[in-house]
Amino acid sequence: MRNTIKALIALEDGTIFHGRSFTGPCEAVGEVVFNTSMSGYQEILTDPSYCGQMVTMTYPLIGNYGINEEDVESNRIQVKALLVKEHQEVPSNWRAQKSLADYLKENDIPGLEGIDTRALTRHIRLRGAMKAAISTEDLDSRSLVEKAVRGPDMMGSDLVREVTCKRPILWRKGKAVGLKQGLDAFQWPDDGNPWRVVTMDFGVKYNILRSLEQRGCTVLLVPADTKSEIINGLKPDGLFLSNGPGDPAAVTYAVQTIQEQIGERPIFGICLGHQLVGLALGGKTFKLKFGHRGGNQPVKDLSTGKVEITSQNHGFCVDVDSLRDPDIELSHINLNDHTLEGLAHKRLPLFSVQYHPEASPGPHDASYLFDRFIEMMKENKK
């Protein structure tokens, strides 16, 4: 019999779920969301876009292939807790280096099992994503509900400051290398790569950086509050706007920088980067009822009519009706709820998508978007 401890999950609306901790004593508060991916739990755990959230996996068996050092998407676990139906204690995969339980324990992240994840997911789908509290210490339902209610709201939360790099980082040969000097003394390395890309780090996933490097980009990550004049001084061929957590409307400093960069050089944004582009173009964002999280979201390319199956992780969306500029073209829509999934500028080198073309985890239908960014930089250099 595995060593587990009784635990409670209390939602802010008073709903209670029962489970067991497979990582020891714990207590945590955060927004509870669900992900429909059948695999990729390691990438999900380390995705900075999940900062401040507790993730429920809808697939019933999690942990069967263990954890390895290669599949991380950031330098640490980002979720507040992992909630599953059944945790597989003993992994079976040639790449596994440790178990899921050991990985969570090392990072002091709660892992709960024995939860009716179908009921929890259905509840969120009907009522919307909401704050929750989990505990093995406080098993009083009323007390735990009160803790959930008092937890921080996702609306208005600037979580980018919690995940962005504190100092500039150069991405080289699949590794993050911190700079010894400041950006005022930075010199691009002579590594033979044809493209120099500055990435505004709002919580970037490593596979985005891998995808850019594979296409001949030297990538420099800069903190989210980097000013436009600093980026101009670096003279990059392109500007990439990364994914990230929290409410995009709270990241006003980045919106200002993006506004000043539009038209200066090619810009490509993903997820939060897309939302910030929408705000910079005069649009508004809103919170989705339960968000899009998983590897099976259908998106239609409005220019070709082609349907892509995409990987997604977002709780906010750009309001289509708020984009009034006739030069803004809506490029992609979600076929489940018809929300905006992509936009482009008709005259300027700028486009962005709400989903994740780097697909880690997820399908690879949209990887061509990185090639589009490269082509845009080529055209801009002529």
Residue 264 structure tokens: 């200066």
Catalytic hit among 43, 73, 113, 358: 358
Using DSSP bridges, classify how beta strands 340-345 and 350-353 pair: parallel, antiparallel or unpaired.
antiparallel
> Residue 364 and residue 346: Cα distance in Å, rounded?
26
- In the set 271, 274, 292, 317, the catalytic residue is 271
Rounded Cα distance between 328 and 348, Å, is 10
Residue 317 is among the residues annotated as catalytic for this protein: no
Q: How far is CA 48 from CA 97, 161, 228, 299, in A?
A: 22, 11, 24, 23
- Is 358 one of the catalytic residues? yes
Contact (CB, 8 A) for 310 and 285: no
Q: Where are the alpha helices (DSSP H) in the chain?
A: 41-45, 100-106, 117-127, 141-150, 160-163, 206-214, 228-234, 252-261, 272-280, 368-381
Tell me whether strands 27-35 and 130-135 are parallel, antiparallel or unpaired: antiparallel
Catalytic-residue membership of 356: yes
Q: Between β-strands 238-241 and 267-270, what pairing exists: parallel, antiparallel or unpaired?
A: parallel
Name the active-site residue from 123, 274, 332, 356.
356
Both tokens of residue 219? 């990538």
Count CB-CB contacts under 10 A for residue 348: 15
Helix 368-381 to helix 206-214 angle (10° resolution) is: 50
- In order, the DSSP letters of 112-134 are EES--HHHHHHHHHHH--EEEEE
Q: 73 and 331 in contact (C-beta within 8 Å)? A: no
Q: Can you tell me the distance from the alpha carbon of 302 to that of 14, in angstroms, rounded to the nearest whole number? A: 42
**Residues acting as catalytic residues:** 271, 356, 358
